[in-house]
Structure 1
Amino acid sequence: MRTSAIGDVTHVVPLIRTLQAQAPGTALTWLVGKLERKLVGDLPGVEFITFDKGKGREGMREVRQALAGRRFDALLHMQVALRSNLLSLAVKADRRIGYDHARSKDLHGLFVNERIAARTGEHVLDAMASFIEPLGLKQTEVRWDIPVPDDAHAWAAEQLPGDTPTLLVSPMSSHTVRNWRVDRYAALIDHAAARGMRVALVGGPSPAERELADQILAAVTHTPMDLTGKDTLKRFMALLGRSSMILTPDSGPMHMANAAGTKVLGLHAASNPHRSGPYSDRRWCVDRYDAASRKFFGKPASEIPWGTKIEKEGVMDLVEVPDMIGRFEACADFLKLPLRA
């Protein structure tokens, strides 16, 4: 059971792959959110049951109906919010495996009868992988292979034809304090375009994302392609497959990009990239988390609890344009992109 959010759901996919490889006779059912199912709902060998949180109590009733009369050997209860804890009552299971005491909240302990090992200093993906350890299994390989349908690939090829090196810019996080300033996004876009990169703005259809995209478009000198609100989750995965890099704050698109193998120019100050950054490769991220801890808490990041979010107004100002240009150039050099001098 992991219903949300997009980034966290991508972290569960390697666990599914591990279960399928190490316990191939196991029937797997994933209780997942409505939006998130659009990304992972076609994973082969998995039954999906959708929770539509937008329906409130009706959404919970639909889950109870879908699971009525069923019992499972084990529930991996991988979400600690109160709503999720209440939703877990719809799942009848002999073993109910949840988080350790330190990572529990909202009465999570009342809804589980086993806990994962207490650890600190872990990436979120590794914490989720530990849910299979009480079953006698261990994740030793991280593999996504999220399916992308042919029509999504065809759409992406129409938007990004040929093999021009491409930078995607996904500027918005659901935690808006993690977003970079408009003028800084514009400066990086202009730098990449001047170097010969094809740049495309991407984002969802929400009014807030449309507004941010419009502000960026008004601030740039080199106008990027504007795909904001035009893609779906699967189309976005296809776009990633045709792109060299993505610039983004800590967000769902960051983790989708990592799953797709696209290099991530990550913007980190409000969150710790070693806990919630791109799992596979954080070399191209700018990490100002320690500076943020010193500024807002008066102590280094090593002295605050693991996973602390420093979501303070202005925290992302600690990530400056030259920092990210440096990471962009280093990544372009690593990829041996044929850019203009």
Structure 2
Amino acid sequence: MTTRKPLDICVLRLSAIGDTCNIVPVIHQLRNAFPEARITWIIGKTEWSLLQTLPDVEFITVDKQAGRRERRQLVRQLQSRTFDVFLHMHASMRANLISRHVRATRKIGFDRSRARDFQWLFSSETTAPAERAHVVDGFLGFLGSLGITPEPPQWCIPLADDAVEFASRYCEQPTLIISPCSSDRRQNFRNWAAEHYSRIVDDAVRKHGLEVVLTGGQTPVERDYGKNISALATEPVINLIGKTSLPQLLALLTKADVLLCPDSGPAHMANAVGTPVIGLFATSNRWRTGAYNSQRWAVDRYPDALAIYNGKSVAQVRWGQRVRDPRAMELIRPEDVSARLQEFMRYRASLTPPEDY
């Protein structure tokens, strides 16, 4: 293993929104440790649209929808370079196939327990095991392979000027942003019912004087959520679902007082800009994938869901095990979320933190 400082570093993490946000602290610490190094990030096209403002990073974008011509161009672009270090931070077969075209002196991947889809076959070294760690801490573990002692994570994603201008039209008073939907994937039962969100809208306006803004993507599921929440709530709500880009959403989140959402990318976007997150968890483990700096605000029914639908405790299942039952999120009651919002608003007013959860 070479001890020479790497001058050319390649990072591979294609997606998703939350995971790429959580790679950012690694990028910053690489830059601090190796200020002269050239850092290249192979990233998905959608995720690049959010993170393209990061300074001193060369991006190579990958489009899932690209045709053969674009794929051949990507291969040529990668094969024309040789890196000192390649950090293979995406354990998926699609990422593995891309990694075959990356030439590097050192190829570092996840330890065997996290190296899904045979990732160990595409790496020459692995990180130290990260037992029951948050995703962010698992990513930071790659730094140890380069002799860097990880520091507390910092995100620092610069905002685009046009996104700031867009966000300036909203959040002029204390604001709750609700991003009600997680990614639309098979057996991804992380969404809470629209009628429950509508109750939180009414509580937020009546009890706390908050403006409420709905955000989300352009899928039919998300658009229907926006329409249903707006129709069921008796208090006014601003529905921006399907009307923002990722940079615009990031700018909006910087102005919000708090975000309410399930386990999803916007939670990590809010965390990246320092906005507290009330996360809703029943099918995934918040200690692994929750907003890194907002664990105290999570409404967590994951242990209950595991016991009811899997017959197991958290200690009995593999780290990151999901509950694949559409009924699980119903374990989260609206009154639980209202109580957590009230607790947050009291904290915000007093600046006295409650006991940790």
Alignment partner for residue 174 of structure 2, among 138, 158, 165? 165
2:49 to 35, 38, 63: 38
Equivalent in the alignment of 1:249: 262
**Match 2:124 to one of 108, 113, 123:** 113
Q: Which residue of 1 aligns with 2:25?
A: 14
Please name the residue that 1:190 is paired with: 202
Q: Please point out which of 322, 332, 336 is paired with 1:319.
A: 332
Name which of 177, 195, 201 aligns with 2:189.
177
Q: Which amino acid aligns with 1:184?
A: H
The secondary structure found in structure 1 opposite 2:212 is strand
Query: Secondary structure of the equivalent of 2:297?
Result: coil
Instruction: Please tell me whether residue 132 in structure 1 is matched to residue 140 in structure 2.
Output: no
Gap regions ≥5 residues in structure 1: none
Once the 2 structures are TM-superposed, how far is the Cα of residue 145 of structure 1 from its aligned partner?
Answer: 0.9
Offset at 1:204? 1.2
User: 1:235 maps to which residue?
Assistant: 248
Instruction: Name the stretch that deviates more: 57-66 or 305-314.
Output: 57-66
Q: Distance in 2 between matches of 1:41 and 1:62?
A: 20
The reply on whether 1:27 has 2:58 as its aligned counterpart is: no
1:288 to 282, 296, 301: 301
Give the Cα separation in 2 of the matches to 1:154 and 1:132: 36
Change (3 A) 1:58 1:211: farther
Match in the other structure for 2:237? 224
Compare the two structures and name the one with the higher helix fraction.
Answer: 1
| AA partner of residue 200 (structure 1) | V
Mark the CA change 1:313 to 1:56 in structure 2 (over 3 Å): closer, same or farther.
farther
The residue type paired with residue 27 of structure 2 is I
Measure, in 2, the Cα distance between the counterparts of 1:69 and 1:203.
Answer: 39
> Would the aligned equivalents of 1:2 and 1:31 in 2 still touch at CA under 8 Å?
yes
Contact 1:33–1:53 (8 Å) recurs in 2: yes
Task: For residue 18 of structure 1, report the CA deviation from its aligned partner.
Answer: 0.4
Identify the match of residue 61 of structure 1 among 72, 92, 112: 72
In structure 1, the partner of 2:354 is none
TM value normalised by structure 1: 0.95
Cα displacement string for residues 8-67 of structure 1 (whole angstroms, at most 9, x for unaligned residues): 001100000101111112110000000000111121011000000122655532321222
Residue number in structure 2 paired with 1:49: 60
**Cross-structure match for 2:81:** 70
CA distance in 1, matches of 2:15, 2:72: 18
In structure 2, distance between residues paired with 1:159 and 1:177: 31
Shift of 1:91: 0.8
Q: SS state of the match for residue 102, structure 1?
A: coil
Structure 1 pair 3/56, CA: closer, same or farther in 2 (3 Å)? farther
Residue of structure 1 in register with 2:97 after alignment: 86
Residue of structure 1 aligned with 2:321, choices 297, 301, 308 = 308
Post-superposition shift, 1:228? 1.1
Taking only the aligned residue pairs, the percentage that are identical comes to 40
Distance 1:262 1:116 in 2: 31
Q: Distance in 2 between matches of 1:57 and 1:247?
A: 41
Contact 1:60 1:87 in 2 (8 A): no
Q: What's the secondary structure of 1:231's corresponding residue?
A: coil
Match of 2:16 among 5, 28, 42: 5
Output the CA distance in 1 between the equivalents of 2:182 and 2:73: 30
Q: Matched residues in 1 for 2:69 and 2:220: separation?
A: 27
How many Å separate the matches in 2 of 1:218 and 1:49?
43
Query: Which residue is 1:101 aligned to?
Result: 112
One-letter amino acid matched to 1:248 = C
Report the CA distance shift for 1:59/1:292 in structure 2 as closer, same or farther (over 3 A): farther
Closer, same or farther: CA 57–320 of 1 in aligned 2, 3 Å: farther
Provide the residue aligned with 2:5 in structure 1: none
Q: Bigger shift: 64-73 or 35-44? A: 64-73
Mark the runs of 5 or more structure 2 residues left unpaired by the alignment. Answer: 1-11, 351-357
Once superposed, what is the RMSD of the aligned Cα atoms? 1.3
| Matched pairs, number | 335
What's the CA shift string for 1:168-223, capped at 9, x where partnerless?
00000015510001111111111101121100111112222111211211211113
Any idea what SS the aligned residue of 1:247 has? strand
Aligned with 2:228 (options 195, 215, 219)? 215
Once residues 148 and 60 of structure 2 are traced to their aligned partners in structure 1, the CA distance between those partners, rounded to angstroms, is 24
Q: Alignment partner for residue 347 of structure 2, among 330, 334, 337?
A: 334
What is the identity, as a one-letter code, of the residue corresponding to 1:7? G
- Given candidates 135, 149, 152, the residue that maps to 1:141 is 152
Kindly provide the amino acid, as one letter, of the partner of residue 130 in structure 1.
Answer: G
